[in-house]
Structures are given as structure tokens and as C-alpha cells.
Structure 1
Amino acid sequence: MSKKNQWLRLSGIVNRPCQSLSTLFALLLFGTVLASCSEGRGKNKKNAELLEVPVFSLTPKDIKVPQTYVCDLQAIQFVEVRSKLEGFVENIYVDEGQEVRKGQALFQLSSAEYNELVNSATAKLMQAKAEEKAASLEVERLKVLVDKKIYSASELELAQSRKQMAESAILEAESMLKNAQVGLSYTTIRAPFDGIVDRIPYKTGSLVKSGDLLTNITDISEIFAYYRITENEYLEYMRGELDKNADTEQMNEQVRETLQGEQEEISLILSDGIEYPYKGRLETMEADFEQGTGSIALRVRFPNPDGLIKHGASGKVQMSNELHDVYLIPQKSTFEIQEYNYVYLVNEENKVNVRSFRPLMRHGLYYVAQDFNTNDKVVLEGIQLLKDEATVKPNPIGEEEVYRSLDLPL
């Protein structure tokens, strides 16, 4: 007996043809039903396992982004007070940190030598004037004698020459006297303008030489803040303010009008991170770009009525940069690889696709970007659970919730 017949006999199919065929068909039908049920359960299980992710639609925004630049703070006037003479410090009339007025005496250097120079120059001037007077009388006397033909005309010419020499001697003596008086005036050092006295390194009795620094005088009633911007930032700013089609002369005139006209007030952040209570205005900029850095310096004037800011302080100027038609991408929606940032976009088939972008800047907890399309759907969070081309179940999130940390007109 063959193995096939032996198997049929054992299974009870042989010798019971009708009953065996019915049983076989029943087994085949049961298998088909089981397969169909298994396939249905697989599809339901797959649908149940779709990841639900929050998504939001991108719309272009017009925003003002604060930009800060490190700046140097300088007094509107800062002068080094130096000695023009060599001498001893006889008196110091002010103290460090004292407010002084223009022309007020600050220091007195030894002046005996310069007093003697003034006296000597005065004596020489008096002598020159006396000689000039004598020469004038001689000329007048000789004129009479020449008219009477008692003396020849040559004698009168000689007398007139001596008078001219006496007059020139007076001029020389007056010049020497003025120089001596100027030298004497240098022994008293006075304030060049209203300001505050800085450190005084030399004390009474010290010997100072010509050019030695005695102190500094600073006027901090107002403060200059100098900061630098790149060439691209400069061009962006100026193109926003000027007519693109203006010729060079018109552009230069527009630059002056722009800098002198109505401008946005600029904030100052001091070194402790607190905003200065007074606002400043942009006044001017340098004429050339710095060769090493390719940047150009701008100057902002701030009032300083309380004297809070001192010369040489540091801080940051803060300006508002207006950006139009940009997209705000929450940082939690992104991941970074090397120099690119990435987000997941959801397409019409509810599949996610990785999209790279380069942000223009950061604004709070958001990236500012331009290379997107209106109504692009971005996965808000949970990106660590996603894979490219994965099918998801999107859960739309409103703009109010997405941008609630920003004061934006929605």
C-alpha cells in the first residue's frame, strides 16, 4: 500500500468518500475564514497604532526683533590735562571726583622763574619804548636843522633809521613779554570745560615735566555709545532708509537727513543687565569700514542727567529690526545636524517628511526663517518619535497656543 493511501486510510477518508469530501471542504472554508479574520485584525491593529502628533500651519508674520550690539560708552568730552611746563606742584585746588566749572583753577605750579621772565621782558619793553622816543625826538630836531641847512640830509636819514630800529625793538620786546606772560599763565592749570576731575597722580611738591598727565576732565552730562555693525547690516539698514535709485550726491544728502531726522529710540542695556531708563538716538557713523573686521562704527547719544554712566563703561545698545513675511518655527519642533536645522512637515497623505532650513536668527524660543510656504504643516512636538515617510494622525493646534509666548497680532 502506498504512503498516500495509507495516510488517507488513517485519516478516515478512504472507504467514506462522501463524508470525507464534506470534511475536506469544511476544513478549507474554515481556513479561509480564519485568514480573513486575521487580515482584518491586522488592519485594525495598524490603524490603531498610528501616532497622533500635534501640527500647526505656517503663516507669514511681520515682527520686530530686538537686536543687541556690544558698545563702548564714552563721555561727550574727555580731555587729558597735562603740564606744559616743568616745575613743582605748589597747590592742588580740587579733589578727585569733584565737579568743576570752565576756567576754574585746578593746579598751581612753581612760578617764580616765570615771574622773573615777565619782569625782564617788561623792563626790555620799557627800554625799547624809551629808545624809540629818544630817536623820535632826534628826528624832529634834525628836521629843523636840515631845513635851515645846518645839517645835511644824510644826518636826518640816519636818525630816521635809528627810530625804525627802536620801533622794531618795541615789537620784539612786546613779543617777549607776551611769551613770558603765556608761560606764567601755564603755571596755573585751569579746567577747559565743565566736568568732573579724574584721578590726580601728582601730589603737592611733586616735580612734573612738560607733557606729564596731571588729571582728566570728563563731561558726562551726555554719553556717546559706539557700536559696530557688519557691512551687510549696514546695507540692509541704509536700503531701508534711502531711495535705491538715488545718485551719489542725493544718497549722501539722504544719509544726512536720515541720521538727523526722526528715528526710532534706541535702548541701552548696562553691564548688570538692567535697561537704562533713558533712550538714545543714532547721530552719525564712521566714513570707512574697518579693514580687519569689515565693520563700521555708529554713534548713539544718550542723556545722562543723573551721572550714572561713567566714561569707559560698557553695555549693549538694543535696536528693533523689522522683519516682514517671515515664519516662526518653535525650537522644540526642530533638531539640528551640523549647520542645518530640520523640521517634520506633514503632507496631504498624512505622511511626515524631513525638511531642512537655515534660520535667519533666534527670537525668544523661536527660529525666524523664510524658506517655507504658507500653510505648510509642521509637527509641533514629539519629533523624537517620528521617522521620515511615516504615516501619522495629525492633531491641529491653533496659532494662539503655538505663539502664546510672543506678543503677536494673530
Structure 2
Amino acid sequence: MKLSPYYAVSLGLIVALSGCHEPEHHHEEAHKIVVTSPLVKDVTTTQSYVCQIRSRRHIEVRALEGGYLQEIKVKEGQSVKEGDLMFKILPTLYQAKLDAEIAEADLAQIEFNNAKKLYEQHVVSPQEVALAQAKLDKAKAQVQLAQAELNFTDVKAPFDGIVDRLHEQQGSLIEERDILTTLSDNAVMWVYFNVPEARYLEYKSEVAEGTAPAQVELMLANGQQFHEPGVIGAIEADFNNTTGNIAFRADFPNPTGVLRYGQTGTILLKRVEKDAVVIPQRATFEILAKRYAYIVGDDGVVHQREIEVKNEMEDIYVMKEGINPGDKIVLEGIRQVRDGEKVEFEFIPPEEALSHLKFKAE
């Protein structure tokens, strides 16, 4: 049977229209996100500062008298004890001067004895005895001065320390005040580091409250930690107006002598914060230099909230404001949610969330 063209077209339109009216199936699923809560625990925070290491005592050893350098009793890098002879300047002139002054003193002593004897015999007046006594006292003072000048030719260590580079060689003609070497007392090292004003004010407040950093550690240039703990020994009187910093000094005992004058390192100030509120860094995001987190309300609606970080640690933030212990914060899926959106979520305990952190904040 043949179909007319009109009938064929009509049949095709009916089939097409019937296909257009087939019911559609829409699958609209809510975003699946992972939510956790802040964890309240004791944490140890660390502040690091570049530092310069100095000896407790570091002096220039100078010649007190001029002359030829007769002997050098020490070597570069040698440890010396207080009172050890380090250098000897040729003492010939000073010895001769001392001998002459001793002879003058002996003469004055004889004259005094004679005057005293004559006074006892009523031959001379008391004034003659007084003049002889004064002459004797002056002669004895000259002997002491000459002895001191002779002693200055022996340059001795004023304290226990390590000898630095020798500036003069044996036989050199030395002038008064010439530098012979430097001497460092490295038993205790003074480590200086600069602290910003805000951190300085925090430290003074913590000292007043009795919560100042319990640990002061030193990281050496090779990345290893110095084995002795330190203490804050002093704070300088003035701020540097150019940098806005003030210098702190940490004192470290140095029994093995590892630390030397002029080294550099990093000071680590560690303090324990009780009942700190911490969250993963990956649960936060930044907009125009401000940090935010998504908080899920009891109704399942997400709200964006500005937060303030007190301290940053590896993978976590210690919170100052904006996060409360009972809040539910979005951990996974931050880029999938919007402020005011209702979501479905999976909750994981904070201990589990913090146990395997690998990534920083988005």
C-alpha cells in the first residue's frame, strides 16, 4: 500500500512530537564536603630569629710598654689560663731603671737612719728627720713605679680564654698600645638577635604574667641544634628607629668550646600555649590579605567567616579570633561551596583530621 506524501509527513511529525514529550530525569545532588572541628590542646609555638654569636669577654691584648718583642709564649688558637705569660718585651732598660731606683731608695734609707740617730742625740731638729722620711718615701715610690714598668714587659692573660691571630712577630719593635693579639672567653656565649616591637611587647607582657618562653634554643649554620639550652640574659635599652627592632641577648654555656666569636645561627624561642584552639591550615583561604574559613551552621548552611591567626605552625594555625571550639569548619571542598549555601557533609573528628595533614592552606 502506498502512503500519500501528506500522510507520511503527518506520521513523521507525530513520532517526533511523541519523542519530545518523553519525561526528563534530573539528578541534582548536594555537594559532598568534609567537615571537622577545631581541636583544643597544649601546643609549643616557635619564633625564629637570625642571630650573631659573641664571646662573653673579647678583648684586644695590647703592649703597655714599648720595646723589642723578645718572646712569644703562645700560639694562635691556644687556650690560656688567667695569669699565663703570653708575650715578653725586652726588659733591659726597665731593669736598669729599677736597679737605679732601688739604689736611690737604699741611699735615702741610710740618710733617714742617720738623721733619726742624730735626732735622738739632740743634734738635729725634728724637721731634719721629717725631710729624710719624705725623701725615703719618695724613693720607695719610685722603686714601685720602676717595678711596675718592668712588670709591664710581661704581658699576661687577664682571664681564661682562646688566643686569636698574632699581630706581631718575635723581634718586632713594639710601640706602647700596639695590638699583639685578641683574647676570647668562650665559656659563656652571648647571642644577639633583633626582635620587632610587637614581639617585644608580647614578651614583656608574658614576663609580667609568668608565661615567658620556657626554652631558648640555638640552631647552628649547619642546621643542627646546639646541645645546650640558653636563657634571655639582657635586652638593650634603645630601639633602632630605622628597623623598628630592639636587640635581645641570649646566654649559652659553651663547655665543649663549639661556639666561637663571630659565628651566626638562628635563635628559637619556644613557649607552651595551654588550651590553644588549632585548625588545619588547609581549612582556610585568603582574600585580599585577609584569612577566612567556612563555618557550617546547625541548619547545614555554610557561612564565610573572617578569622585571625595567632601563630602559624607546620600544617596548622593557632587561632586568636574567629573560631570557637564547637564550630564545624569545612576541611575538604572549600572551592565547591558558596556563602549561604546548604550542603551535605561528612564529619570527621579533629584528631583524625590533624593526624594526616600534608597540604597547606588553599
**Which of these two proteins has the greater Rg computed from alpha carbons?**
1
Shift of 1:188: 0.9
Give the aligned residue type for 1:193.
Answer: F
Confirm whether residue 384 of structure 1 aligns to residue 325 of structure 2.
no
Q: What is the aligned partner in structure 1 of residue 59 from structure 2?
A: 79
Q: What is the aligned partner in structure 2 of residue 271 from structure 1?
A: 221
* Residue of 318, 325, 330 corresponding to 2:280: 330
CA contact (8 A) 1:285 1:296 kept: no
Shift of 1:315: 2.1
Q: 1:289–1:318: structure 2 CA closer, same or farther, 3 Å change rule?
A: same
Superposition TM-score, scaled by structure 2 size: 0.82
CA RMSD of aligned residues (A): 3.0
Instruction: For 2:217 and 2:356, locate their aligned partners in 1 and report how far apart those are by CA, in whole Å.
Output: 22
Higher strand share: 2
* Residue of 49, 73, 90 corresponding to 1:69: 49
Shift of 1:298: 4.6
Instruction: For 1:235 and 1:342, locate their aligned partners in 2 and report how far apart those are by CA, in whole Å.
Output: 30
Confirm whether residue 395 of structure 1 aligns to residue 346 of structure 2.
yes
Confirm whether residue 194 of structure 1 aligns to residue 160 of structure 2.
yes
Confirm whether residue 367 of structure 1 aligns to residue 317 of structure 2.
yes
Aligned length: 337
* Residue of 146, 158, 164 corresponding to 1:180: 146
Q: What is the aligned partner in structure 2 of residue 233 from structure 1?
A: 202
Give the aligned residue type for 2:237.
Answer: D
The percentage of counterpart residues that share the same residue type is 29
* Residue of 260, 267, 270 corresponding to 1:320: 270
CA contact (8 A) 1:82 1:213 kept: yes
The correspondence of residues 2-401 of structure 1 with structure 2, limited to 5 A, is 38=24, 41=25, 44-45=26-27, 47-48=28-29, 50-141=30-121, 143=122, 156-157=124-125, 160-229=126-195, 230-241=199-210, 264-282=214-232, 284-286=233-235, 288-290=237-239, 292=241, 297-371=247-321, 372-401=323-352
Shift of 1:193: 1.9
Q: What is the aligned partner in structure 2 of residue 20 from structure 1?
A: none
1:188-223, Cα deviation, whole Å (9 max, x unpaired)? 101112221111111112222222221122222333
Instruction: For 1:109 and 1:335, locate their aligned partners in 2 and report how far apart those are by CA, in whole Å.
Output: 73
Q: 1:163–1:119: structure 2 CA closer, same or farther, 3 Å change rule?
A: same
Instruction: For 2:39 and 2:55, locate their aligned partners in 1 and report how far apart those are by CA, in whole Å.
Output: 46
Shift of 1:327: 2.6
SS in 2 for 1:103: coil
Higher helix share: 1
CA contact (8 A) 1:231 1:294 kept: no
Superposition TM-score, scaled by structure 1 size: 0.73
Name stretches of at least 5 consecutive residues in structure 1 with no aligned partner: 1-29, 145-155, 243-257
SS in 1 for 2:309: coil
